Structures are given as structure tokens and as C-alpha cells.
Chains A and B, each alone.
Chain A
Amino acid sequence: MSNQVISEIRRDHILNLLKDGRRTDGRKVDDFRKIKFETGIIESADGSAVVEIGKTKVTAGVKIIPGTPFGDTPNMGVLTTGAELIPMAHPSFESGPPGADSIELARVVDRGIRESGMIDMSKLCIKEGEEVWMCFLDLYAINYDGNLFDAFTLASVLALKTAIIPNEQYGKGENKPLPITCIPISATAAKVGSSLILDPNFDEEHISSARLTVTTDDDGNFRAMQKGGQGSITLDELSRCLDMAVAKGKEIRELIG
């Protein structure tokens, strides 16, 4: 019904089902919704992906452009990540520059990719100190039904994994794939009542007291984490989230191949 307030009937219904470890759409607490994805559909981008997790749908595109490196890393490429919660995605989203939610989303996605070393930045140097490849990753939510952290991270990973450095466009030789070393995967859990549930949908997200996004790499090691929400999580809950994230990371990595 209303955009941000969840009715007490919906809320009570969700909490009641969770007492038996069940969710309104029949999932178990650690089930993700159905994941669908497609890569390379936007030719004007150097890498692109559309990802659906349940009804949440996002697009990701990366443009790889020659630019000036940062002073302290003269021979390393650069990654910049932006995210937009565009108004078409949900009746409560407003037009305008990215707010705190978009910024947090972009930074958490960026952290997972950066800290995992997914892109081998040392191979993006064109001329040390003068020119390197800059990866501009932009994310758009086009339908919002919860869990943008995982949808955005997955779309980013897929777009980067299939990206091509446009050498030909800039007269720098043949096109080559973006050098990728690993596949980071995020899994977000929400604390609803006293239960921890993975991949919260809109309603679950809006009655949750806290959330934890955990990004793992191919070895099951942790690369990035973010706790959000005004509530708290216990040490035991933290431990359970980490276990779920490692297991789910493995599953999703297999799914995308």
C-alpha cells in the first residue's frame, strides 16, 4: 500500500511466519529469490549487465576511458562507482542527485570490488604517471523490491567480468578483456524480529532493524562488510551471517559461471 510504511497486518504476518522459519513467498530464511542475468546487452558500454533478483531489477554499465592516474599510484588504473535510485524503480523514489542511500550503495559495491582485487589495476597502465585506463561503473535501479546491495554488486561483477578494454577506439592496439582475477559475491542478511533472513524483499527490508552485507571472494575469505540500519546485531548473529554469506557466495559464483 503506502510507499514506505509497512502496514501492521503485513508486519505481523511476516513476523508470525518467521517464528516457523518461513517467509511470505515460501522461501526459507537463507534462500535467495530467483536470480536472472544477461550481459553485454548495451553495446555503447564497454561492459554491461542486467540483473534480476526476484522483482528487483538493476542495470550496470562500465565505460573504460583513458585518463590521468592518481599521484600516489602512477601506474595503476582507476575504478569509480556511482549508483542511482531512479524514480521509475519505486513510487517513493524522487528525482534528484544521489542521496545518502545511493551513495552508501555505490561505496559498498565499490569496496567489495576494490578490496577483492577483482580488477588487476596494475595491468591498466598505458604510460606510467601520465595515462591509465579509468573504469567508470554506473548502476541504476529500475525496479526496487529490496536488496539493492546484492543486485548492484552482482550486476557490477557481471559487467566487469565481461568488459572489453576499447584499445581500438583509442588507437592503442587490439581490444582486450578487462583483466579479472577473482569474482567477489555479496550476500545481505536482514534482522527481522529475532530472525536473520537473506535477500530481504521490500517489505522485509522495511521492517528490519538492521542489515549486514558481506562480500566474499573465491576462497571464501572476507573482502568487505557493511552493517546498516538503526538496530544492532549480536556476535552470534554476526557469526551466522558470515557462514551464510560464504555458503551463498559459493552458490551464486557457480550460478554465474
Chain B
Amino acid sequence: MEKRSARPAREIVVPGDILDDSGAKAGDNTYTVDGKVYAAVLGVKNKNQYGVGVIPLGGRYMPKPGDMVIGMINDIGSSNWMVDIRAPYPAPLHVSEVPWKVEFGDTSRYLNVGNVVLLKVLSVDEGKKIQVTMNDSGLRRLEGGRLVEIPYVKVSRVIGKSGSMIQMIKSMTDCRIFIGENGIIWIDGDEKNAEVAARAIEMIGENAHKGSLTERVKEFIEKELPNAGEVGE
């Protein structure tokens, strides 16, 4: 057996694995039977001061109010647009939630099928009906640039602790990057730089990697953009 590095190896659990039988509080993605806490999804066991839960390794993004998401208009109604945000449920964007005054039936004048939009999740009710909005600073239709899709569970890795990872990628590639909690990321910048940023993010989105992720991403960008910071080529 190899000597483990300083950080303890994460414990992967499958549905049905017992997480705690000593009365700990049940965290996310668990279920309880007779006071014992069991894993409900395939993921990493996570025990902290709030209880014991599971951080999922996969699965579909489930919207939470306040999440910033990137989606695509895939249908138009007379007073709303339907947005695909890669969630189990469709996300309707109502005419009252956009910065324009839209007449009834005039919706296609403002947004069309295929348009990509940066939105915020307004609410998710008990029946899982989702409402999204474009009425907040920074929210809008996105044009140009490129999109990268990663599993939503990897978004926190792309952001990094206190935003360290995404800041590093942004400054090394000099690109504008918007990260949707739903795993869709928009990148805009010089073509070669944006390509490198996209691939760095895809790298984070993929699974097996050993050692320090931050180091590997930094090395990758340095290798692809040796003149990072210099003007053009």
C-alpha cells in the first residue's frame, strides 16, 4: 500500500452504505432508518459540524434559488420563453422577468430559440416548479465566445477555494468567464487563449487526476500559452 499523502483519501460511498449509527445529524443526499444515516447517492462521504452527508459525484443539476445559470431558449410562448438549463425540469422565463417591456405575443422579438442566456434562479416550489429571471445586474443574453459543459458537481472545483482556481485561469488567459451553477460555462477572449481556458476547465470537469489539481491546471496553461500576458502572436 502506498503511503497516503497528508490529506486523507476520500471515502466513496454507494446508495445503501451506512454513514453513521451514533446519532449524527443527517446531511444532504442521505436517508435515515431507525436513527441510522445511510447514503442515498453515489458520492463522497462528508462529515462536518452540521452532520454527515454525501457530496454527489454525478447526477443532474437541481436548481436552488439564487443560483446563477446559463441556459438556452428552446421554446417560445406568448408571454414566456422556455429555457433549458439541463435540470430535470424546464425553466420558464416570464416576460415580467426580463429588462424589456414585452407585448403579449411579441416575445420572439426579444429572445429566440437558440439564444443563450445568463439567468438567476428565482424560486423552486414544492412541486419543483422553477422560475428564472433576467432582472438582476449582469444577467443578459450571451453572444459570441464559446460554451463548455462540465458535470455540475465539478463547478465548485472550477471556482476553487475563495475563487482561487477561476481567478488563476482568468488572469493567465485574460478571458471573461461566466460560470453557471448548472455546469455550463461561457468563455470569451482571444481565440487561442479561450481555447486553452476551455480545455483547462474541461480538464477539471473530468474525473481521475492525482496530486494537486491547481498545479496541474497551472502547468497546462503555462505550457499552452508560454507568452501568457504578452500581446498577440
Contact between A and B in the complex (any CB pair below 8 Å): yes
Given A1-B84, A1-B149, A2-B84, answer yes or no on A9-B186 (Cβ-Cβ < 8 Å).
yes
| B143 interfacial contact with A, CB 8 Å | yes
Q: Count of A-B contacts with CB under 8 A? A: 41
B176–chain A nearest beta-carbon distance, Å = 13
- Most chain B CB inside 10 Å of its own CB: which residue of A9, A10, A11: A9
Name the A residues within 8 Å of B115 (CB-CB): 7-8
B74 within 8 A of A: yes
Shortest C-beta distance, B22 to chain A (Å), equals 42
A8 touches B71 (CB 8 A): no
Give A33 Cβ to nearest chain B Cβ, in Å.
Answer: 17
A1-26 interface bits toward B, Cβ cutoff 8 Å, 1 = contact, 0 = none: 11001111111110000000000000
**Contact present for B84 and A9 (CB under 8 Å):** no
The distance from the CB of B45 to the nearest CB of chain A, in whole angstroms, is 31
Q: In residues 182-223 of chain A, which contact B (Cβ within 8 Å)?
A: none
Q: How distant is the Cα of A11 from the Cα of B116 in the complex, in angstroms? A: 11
Q: How many residues on A have C-beta within 8 angstroms of the other chain's C-beta atoms?
A: 11
Name B's interface SS.
strand
Please tell me if the beta carbons of A9 and B145 are within 8 angstroms of each other in the complex: yes
By DSSP majority rule, is chain A's interface helix, strand, loop, or mixed? Answer: helix
Chain B residues with CB below 8 A from A1, complex form: 71-72, 74, 84, 86, 147, 149, 184
**B114: CB under 8 A from chain A?**
yes
Give the complex CA separation of A233 and B178 in angstroms: 39
Knowing A1-B84, A1-B86, the reply to whether A9 touches B71 (Cβ < 8 A) is: no
Select from chain A the residue with minimum beta-carbon distance to B113: A5
- Chain A residue at minimal CB-CB distance from B186: A9
The answer to whether A6 and B86 touch across the interface, beta carbons within 8 angstroms, is no
Q: Which residues of B134-159 are within 8 A (CB) of A?
A: 142-147, 149
A46 to B172, CA, bound (A): 56
**Are A9 and B86 in touch, CB under 8 angstroms?**
no
Residues in chain B within 8 A of chain A (CB atoms): 71-72, 74, 84, 86, 113-116, 142-147, 149, 184, 186
Given contacts A8-B115, A9-B186, A13-B147, list 5 more A-B pairs with CB under 8 A. A1-B71, A5-B74, A7-B114, A12-B144, A13-B146
Q: List 22 A-B contacts (CB under 8 A).
A: A1-B71, A1-B74, A1-B84, A1-B149, A1-B184, A2-B74, A5-B74, A5-B113, A6-B114, A7-B114, A7-B116, A7-B147, A8-B114, A9-B142, A9-B147, A9-B186, A10-B146, A10-B147, A11-B114, A12-B143, A12-B144, A13-B146
